[in-house]
Chain A
Amino acid sequence: MAILVDERTRVLVQGITGREGRARARLMREYGTKVVAGCTPGRGGETVDGTPVYDTVLEAVEASGGIDASVIFVPAPLVKDAALESIAAGIALTVLVGDRVPVWDVLETARAAERAGVDFLGPNTLGVLSVGRGVLGMIGGRAESARSWFKAGGVGVASRSGGMTSSTGYYLSRSGIGLSTLVHVGGDGIVGLPLPAVVRLFEADPDTRCIAIFGEIGGSQEERIAEMMASGEVTKPVVAFIGGRAATQGVRFSHAGAIVEGGRGTHAGKVAALREAGATVVDAFDDLPGAVAKVLEG
């Protein structure tokens, strides 16, 4: 099972002829992901490392016999158009890797996705990786690193930080705790699949027994998980670490989403909400594997 991506997912890479697109398509393929097509307007007919390139997304869908997910590697100002094209073609999941995508572009993308009944991950995401099955985006950087860092098992990882997604996965694996899927929801304030949406998917996934969260100050994603736990919508154990305890209010610490405004989204508020709802929240990140092990034993 796992969530969002597995060995059967048929993948399109938008911007495959660019430096990043080409390199990340290779990583995805080498990890075992089915990359079946690429799209770059004006470059239809070419191939990139054997993958056929099409002018439009719909053409790629028709020619390849179906696409389940599209991963977009284009510069930030062009992300919205690429995403709207993928959504218009009815692709069930679009991954927006680009950093610094303007927030009103994301709002427009969200509106289109909502109307089309499809999902998107990101922007500003490293992507998603189901251990031993497939990867969308660039988690691991190299396929051999991804294979050596992440071991298969029953813990789902969801994080607001890209580096910490890999980090959480690595430290759990090193402690002998295997993983189902790792998801980086993106560092921005407005994202397609926020932590609560990913937690909902893990709740429904029979392969996932426990959910590990790397949260951050700002926004309301962690508080919403607490609400879902309190209402009984989430029954699987949740273990979390929240970054940004030392952060100052009103200052943005590089992630667009990591800002405390008007007293909302504070570190203390998130920790309290999650603990009250029954989650285990560790004060030091290094304590996370131990806490997950304890939850899995009990």
Chain B
Amino acid sequence: MARLAEFQGKQVLRGAGIAVPRGELARSAEAAAAVAGRLGDTVVIKAQAWTTSRKAQGLVRFADSAAAASEAAAAILAARAGGFPVAEVLVEERVAIATERYAGIIIDDRRRRPVLLVSARGGSGIEETAREHPESVAELPLDAVEGLARHAARELWRRVGVHGEEQRHLAEACVRLAAVARAVEARAAEVNPLVFTADGRAVALDCRITVDDAAVFRHPELGIDVARELGHPPTPLERIAWEVEKDDYRGTFYFLQMRDACERGTRVVAFHGAGGGGSMMGMDALARHGFAVANFCDTSGNPPASKVYRAARILLSQPGVDGYFGTGSGVASQEQFHSARGLVKAFLEEPLAVPAVVRLGGNGEEKAIEILTGYTKALGVPVECYGKDTPVDACAARLAALVAAAAPPAPRPPRREPAPAERPYTFASPTGAITYDHAVCARCESKACVAACVPQILELSGDGVPVLKVTGEEAARGRCTECLACEVDCRALGAGGGHVALAIAGLPEYRRERGLG
């Protein structure tokens, strides 16, 4: 996650020369007691969870012995924060505080600059302080390249009534904070409280650093495994989705889960959006028709059919949904039949057991509608597809009608696995492997694959079966665009000899563990 946990944020601050309390991470009560023993004296035990008002929730506790530390840590580790269990606590020395202040670097969208925000009143939320005590808050726009000048930082603290040695120390901490915010490419780096100690030091008691998701690739040193702002620790399915997206720059696949689990009959649906704006509009339309979404998902920016397929497989690995709803802006610039083929492959393989309504308006929509509705007729559940002239609310209303009319769920049919090929002809695609069973292709009359192949890299060999007309390496390097036509159109119009294997790392294990087949 691009939000750094408190412990990790403090490591970053320490590296930049900002003092933080001595402390260590613990994952059990025994480990916490051991840390407390090493630190000696009174310690603070803090849940590592991205939530506000930890103190009020009992997620920050003090202890004056190893035994008390063990007890406090046990209580915190048994708690939940923001709906998710607490896995780690930070055990720290207790610092003798003289004053509590606030300092933060945030990016201001009005000025298009980083801004240093300080407050003489630390502890509570900065928005609240700014509302209730505006005189205690001051801000300074910074130059994105030159950063913060020491004198300007001192002057800013003077404006909120901080003077003398404390002013000098806090200003120095701010200069370093501004530098570290730029170094890790933070969208926000806040220290709250920033305290001045009884023995005359500036110490960061707590911090929140959010690294720009788009810059995570330049910061391997931060060890961020999922570069997404999710609002909770990544779920196993979100990790699987991130693995799909991480190294595949063709289009965008964004996935986040809105709930732990869902139950049939509670009007929770799998949501497959396209484009940020259209997706949000789609979720709002679902809400107006009494639906909640199990997840948010966006495949857009002209993704290949293979990416849409993987997204759909991940969405369908959320059992308990009552329907599948897809929509974008309605008037997409991208060719929509790619999305249609990705969905068809996923729906047939799963196989889909709930009603689906998908709005694929935009370029190529006639073909997209024909593919998605025409090729899924054997499913036994309704799959409806609409174009740009059907409003999103009408689509949500269709889903509501289909869900209301849906028969009680039949026992889950087995997942459709391809039969082993008798005479396999195989080549690699950029993220998968394509196989034609030439024994089947020889019997095929339509040879639909050759005409349907979007990049036109197939031809018929002398004995009338499909083969590459580019080299295998060229296909693997991107001449094969993974349009999936040679499987999807082949299954609908041909003899069914084509298969595209698109692995999704971690998904088979995830599904097995949950009995999803």
Contact = CB atoms under 8 A, between A and B. Distances in A.
Contacts of B231: 248, 250-251
B127 A194 contact: no
B229 interface: yes
Interface string A235-274: 0000000011111101111111111001110000000000
B445 interface: no
A100 B277 contact: no
Interface string A72-104: 000111000000000000000000000111111
B280 A247 contact: yes
Interface string B185-224: 1010000000000000000000000001111011000000
Nearest to A170: B331
A67 interface: no
Interface stretch (B87-95, B153-161, B252-260, B366-374): B252-260
Contact of B277 (A77, A107, A255, A286): A255
Q: Most chain-B CB neighbours within 10 Å: which of A99, A161, A217, A259?
A: A161
Interface stretch (A29-37, A48-56, A141-149): A141-149
Contacts of B276: 161, 187, 216, 253-255, 258
A134 interface: no
Interface string A155-180: 00001111110110111001000000
Nearest to B254: A254
- The SS class assigned to the B binding surface is mixed
Given A142-B363, A245-B284, A246-B284, A164 B214 contact: no
B278 A108 contact: no
Contacts of A110: 112-113, 144
Query: Which bucket holds chain A's interface residue count?
Result: 35 or more
Contacts of A214: 277
Contact of A286 (B109, B212, B252, B392): B392
A286 B393 contact: yes
A220 interface: yes
Contact of B331 (A104, A114, A149): A149
Interface residues of B, number: 64
A100 B215 CA distance: 8
B363 A159 contact: no
A102 B280 contact: no
A38 interface: no
Contacts of A108: 144-145
A103 B298 contact: no
B330 A167 contact: yes
Nearest to B182: A104
Nearest to B50: A250
A256 B276 CA distance: 9
B210 to A, nearest CB: 9
B319 interface: no
A91 B421 CA distance: 59
A136 interface: no
A254 B279 contact: yes
Contacts of A114: 112
Contact of A99 (B185, B252, B286): B252
A221 interface: yes
Q: Most chain-A CB neighbours within 10 Å: which of B112, B217, B393?
A: B112
A264 B128 CA distance: 12
Given A111-B145, A248-B231, A284-B393, A253 B113 contact: no
Interface in B286-310: 286-288, 296, 298, 300-301
A177 to B, nearest CB: 15
B179 interface: no
Contacts of A75: 249
B497 interface: no
B143 interface: yes
Interface in B393-448: 393
A118 to B, nearest CB: 14
A140 B333 contact: yes
Nearest to A141: B333
B391 interface: yes
Interface of A: 75-77, 99-104, 106-108, 110-111, 114, 126, 138-142, 145, 149, 159-164, 166-167, 169-171, 174, 187, 189-190, 194, 214, 216-217, 219-221, 224, 243-248, 250-259, 262-264, 284-286
8 contacts: A100-B252, A108-B144, A149-B331, A161-B329, A166-B329, A217-B280, A247-B283, A284-B393
Interface of B: 107, 109-110, 112-114, 125-127, 143-145, 182, 185, 187, 212-215, 217-218, 228-231, 249, 252, 254, 256, 258, 273-281, 283-284, 286-288, 296, 298, 300-301, 328-335, 361-363, 388-389, 391-393
Given A100-B213, A216-B276, A262-B127, 9 more contacts: A77-B217, A111-B145, A141-B334, A161-B280, A167-B331, A250-B231, A251-B230, A254-B254, A254-B296
Of all A-B residue pairs in the complex, the 8 with the closest CB atoms, nearest first, are A161-B277, A163-B329, A141-B333, A255-B276, A163-B275, A102-B215, A107-B144, A164-B277
